[in-house]
Amino acid sequence: MDKNRRAFMGKVLAGTAGVATAFSLYAMKRTWDPLPSVISAGFTTVDLSPLKENELSIVKWRGKPVFLLKHGPDVTPNDKRDIVTTDGSRYTVVIGLCTHLGCIPEWKGSENKFKCACHGGEYNIYAENTFGPPPRPMDIPPFTIKGNSIVLGEEGPEYKKMMANS
Ligand code: FES
């Protein structure tokens, strides 16, 4: 009888300890997880459908300007730099800061180039440096494609492939 009672008490104790452990782990996980506002703050989703060919759009992402430029059919595809959406449209998407000293270059649609007024740097339509002091192309932000939208800040398979080939 005493033996049965001891076994019963052992099971009750083990069950209580298990429930307490589960609650503790859940509480710790809640503490460690970033707040939802922090998670969403790092990502910016942009619908690319309304963009017009050869017209620069600028969105703000993590405090930086991001250039979005839709290519027309006359622009030669650049598989190393083009961002391609589900409908096959091609875009230049870059952080719009000159890689020389960080000025914001201007898009000159009539010349198909970006020009930096600070020291005369120039970039082609793919935001590759072509003239002056900029040491490298403008940076491509982490992204993923969802249909005809781009999510800035998320390293999707297209971004990883692009970085592996660059
Ligand atoms: S900051 Fe653009 S060329 Fe110097």
119: domain CATH number?
Answer: 2.102.10.10
Residue segments in the chain with a per-residue pLDDT below the cut of 70: 1-3, 5, 8-10, 12-41
pLDDT for 165: 83
Counted domains in the chain: 2
Residue from 95, 101, 107, 131 to probe ligand 1 pocket by mutation (most atoms less than 8 Å from CB): 101
135 and 94 share a domain? yes
Domain hosting residue 22, numbered range: 2-33
98 and 130 share a domain? yes
Residue from 94, 95, 103 to probe ligand 1 pocket by mutation (most atoms less than 8 Å from CB): 103
pLDDT for 60: 95
pLDDT for 23: 56
27 and 108 share a domain? no
pLDDT for 101: 98
57 and 138 share a domain? yes
91 and 10 share a domain? no
> What are the tokens at 67?
């250039």
